Amino acid sequence: TKAVDEINRIKVFGVPLIETIIREESPDGIPYIIDILSNFILKHGIDVAGIFRVAGSTAEIKVLKEAFDAGERNPKILKLEEKNLFSVCDAFKLFFRSLPEPMLGYSLYDPMLKIMRDTEMPDDARVTKIQEALLNWTPPFALKVLKYLMKFLSEISKHSEENKMTTNNIAIVFGPTLLWAEHNTLESAMDMPYVNGAVKV
């Protein structure tokens, strides 16, 4: 029906990242949901122990998801201050995990694993190789979002003494959120430490 088509047209969860970016026409190319939730977390939760690791309320996450999928962008109407902070963090992660394919793309998975599996590679060379792989395999629109996300997570990690989100914990939480194998297998599950390691770098 026309109503269903309209709802699907403005959805942000489960929609290819490029579609959301093109539709929203945000000046900086960052989806509004990422901008709104990240700024709220920085303002209200940067010193809170357990952010991104303690589970939020399933009901609140559902409410936030439905609001953003309905096109809501007004923080006052979203009533984020009334929500459990952990629910807001979970909604943030859910956006990335709901993408039809990882933000960094399936094509980056194998090159990244190859770099991380090379135990003889010096750390500085590994960083360079990862940067080259990102530039070679990740679309520019996703790199822009990645840059924004890394800046946000860097701010979070600066307060790790309070919030316990060390770079290692950030990698464990966001590694599987940003990059995963096209086909889930036992082998891909065993590869996850390499993926987390790449995000940490």
Q: Exposed e or buried b for every residue in 83-106, given b needs 16+ CB within 10 A?
A: bebbbbbbbbbbbbbebeebbbbe
Nearest to 34 by CA among 153, 200, 172, 157: 153
Q: What is the mean pLDDT of residues 169-177?
A: 89
Q: Is the pLDDT of residue 4 over 50?
A: no
Q: Is the pLDDT of residue 1 over 80?
A: no
Q: Are residues 86 and 166 in the same domain?
A: no
Neighbours of 201 (CB within 10 A): 16
Q: Is the pLDDT of residue 175 over 80?
A: yes
Q: What is the mean pLDDT of residues 90-118?
A: 90
pLDDT for the residue 192: 66
Q: Is the pLDDT of residue 41 over 80?
A: yes
Report which residue type is found at 131.
Q
Split at pLDDT 50, 70, 90, the class of 43 is very high
Handedness of CA 65, 66, 72, 76 (dihedral sign): negative
Displacement of CA 87 from its chain's centroid (Å): 15
> pLDDT higher for 133 or 197?
133
Please identify, among 80, 100, 120, the residue that sits at the C-terminal boundary of a domain: 100
Q: Structural domain tally of the chain? A: 2
Please identify, among 56, 72, 100, the residue that sits at the C-terminal boundary of a domain: 100
User: What is the percent of the chain with per-residue pLDDT over 90, rounded to a whole number?
Assistant: 58
Q: Is the pLDDT of residue 135 over 90?
A: no
Q: Are residues 93 and 134 in the same domain?
A: no
Q: pTM of the entire structure?
A: 0.88
Neighbours of 76 (CB within 10 A): 7
pLDDT for the residue 75: 82
Structural domain boundaries enclosing 15: 1-100
Mean per-residue pLDDT of the chain: 87
Q: Are residues 119 and 184 in the same domain?
A: yes
Please identify, among 44, 68, 100, the residue that sits at the C-terminal boundary of a domain: 100
Q: Are residues 180 and 117 in the same domain?
A: yes
Specify the CATH number for the domain of residue 25. 1.10.555.10
